[in-house]
Structure 1
Amino acid sequence: MVGEDRIIKRGSGGASTTCENDASLRTGPPLRNAKAFELQFMDEGADWDNRQTATMPLSRPPPSSALPFVEPVPSAKAMAAANSLIESEFPHDYITTPHPSLPTARNIKYSDLIEAEHTRLSSDLPREADAGIDLTRYAPPEAPSSTASKETWTTALQQAYTSAKYLSARSINLSLLETYGRNAWLVGNSQLENELKGLEADVERAKLEQEAVEQARRTVQDNAEGEIRGLEDGWRSGVGRMIEVLAASERVKGEILEKRRMGAR
């Protein structure tokens, strides 16, 4: 309700503010005061929008509401405000704490030999002279002494049979590797290359689809840009005319009130 000396203005954000009625608004020319009223209204509406932007909760609009080819690029101040809102939503330890949706890491248990090598590498110690592959595993076992017992000779013979069988299997594997290893390696590389080509083709296909969608979005938004601009200008013009009408009505009410006061004297 409009009082005698106070008027109610409603900003673009929908918030009502109360201000003292200016005397020049009641007595001055309506168009000039309406223009000043419109400028003040738009400035306060922009301030309200800025306050709303700074305090509104972070939300993700649907993709259809984005108009990157029509809307202007956000300013550095707006981007800083948006980034501050995003940062405020993150927990304080989000950089060092893994996300809950990530699977837990497996506990890997290394052998004692690997652990010893890790310790040596972390300590920058030189490699020992006798470190590496134990060549005695591939050497024939030594025969016991002539005075050894029968059990000792039996054990040595069993170890010799085992070593001979092991070395024979390794010799067969090495000969097979020498004969067919190169071709198997080339076939494996060819299969990996074919898989890589398929993945690259999928990536290229996805890029083409993305470019097609982007071009379609650009075309639709370019075609609708004129209509959007026209609607925006019409809205601004309507708001301006509404403010002029409000200012003129307030001036008329002020004149009526002044005449009533003069008639009551």
Structure 2
Amino acid sequence: MSLINEVHDSLPYIDAEPSAVARQKAQQLINAELAPEHSSTLHPSIPASPESKFSPLIQQELERKATGAPLTGGIDLTRYEAPEPPTRTSDTDVPNLPEWRETLQKAYTSSSHLIKRHENLTLLEQHGKNAWLIGNSQMEEILRGMEKELADTKSASEEVNKQRKIAQDASFGELTSLEETWKRGVGAVLDVELASEGLRMQILEQRRLAAQQQAR
């Protein structure tokens, strides 16, 4: 349910288009009722926006963007590169087992990444075209559905305006007659008020003259 109920009393197919002067006067009346801060303050019926809650990482990224700092960090791609084996000064040196273990772990990570990448590229080569075509077909189906919905909405809107025009055209004579009757009624009321006021003034004048004669 809307916060503010709107009622439109206009009869666009009967009423004449307002002139520029009438529009200006109407806008002046509207501006006179608006608060000075109406363009910068929300309507009282509109609730305040909830406070934003971001994770520390998102907040850090927002602060980085606000300060214009360059992007740092991210995914470390060096883990997928083939590591260099530990160097030894001579063949008689004892291998550094922790260093070799770390190198083997990096090599395993890089090898796993390359294997998965090769599998994904193979699957993409085999099924990527069909998946792309199916995706395009689905998107086209969604587009056709939205276009049909838009066309139906436009058709319904045109039908509403058509029925509205027919109803207003059918009531044009009656509305014109009622308006003329109302104008004549208002004019008659004004004539009666003027006549009553004139009669009242005559009565007061007669009373004044009668009072003057009695005073003599």
TM normalised by structure 2 equals 0.68
Q: Could you report, residue by residue, the CA deviation over 1:167-217 in whole angstroms, capped at 9, with x for unpaired residues?
A: 111111122122222322222122112112111111111111111111111
Specify the alignment match of 1:71 in structure 2: 15
Higher relative contact order (CA 8 A, sep 6+): 1
Runs of 4+ with deviation above 6 angstroms: 114-117, 131-135
**Is the counterpart of residue 189 in structure 1 residue 105 in structure 2?**
no
Task: State the distance in 2 between where 1:135 and 1:256 align.
Answer: 108
**Is the counterpart of residue 140 in structure 1 residue 140 in structure 2?**
no
Q: CA RMSD in A?
A: 3.8
1:245 Cα offset (Å): 3.1
Partner SS for 1:88:
coil
Specify the alignment match of 1:62 in structure 2: 7
Contact 2:79 2:109 (8 Å CA) reproduced = no
Specify the alignment match of 2:112 in structure 1: 165
Q: Indicate the larger mover: 157-166 or 254-263.
A: 254-263
Specify the alignment match of 1:230 in structure 2: 177
Partner SS for 2:171:
helix
1:133 Cα offset (Å): 8.7
Residue 198 (structure 1) aligned to one of 129, 139, 145: 145
- TM-aligned CA distance change 1:185 to 1:252, over 3 Å: same
1:257 Cα offset (Å): 4.7
Specify the alignment match of 2:194 in structure 1: 247
- What one-letter code is carried by the residue in structure 2 that aligns with 1:245? V
- TM-aligned CA distance change 1:221 to 1:193, over 3 Å: same
Specify the alignment match of 2:31 in structure 1: 84
Structure 1: runs of 5+ lacking an equivalent: 1-58
Partner SS for 1:195:
helix
Contact 2:82 2:110 (8 Å CA) reproduced = yes
1:91 Cα offset (Å): 3.7
Q: Could you report, residue by residue, the CA deviation over 1:211-261 in whole angstroms, capped at 9, with x for unpaired residues?
A: 111111111112212212211211221222233233334444444554555
TM normalised by structure 1 equals 0.58
Task: State the distance in 1 between where 2:210 and 2:102 align.
Answer: 136
Q: Indicate the larger mover: 203-212 or 233-242.
A: 233-242
- TM-aligned CA distance change 1:173 to 1:253, over 3 Å: closer
Specify the alignment match of 2:166 in structure 1: 219
1:263 Cα offset (Å): 5.1
Q: Map 1:121-132 to 2 at 5 A.
A: 122=68
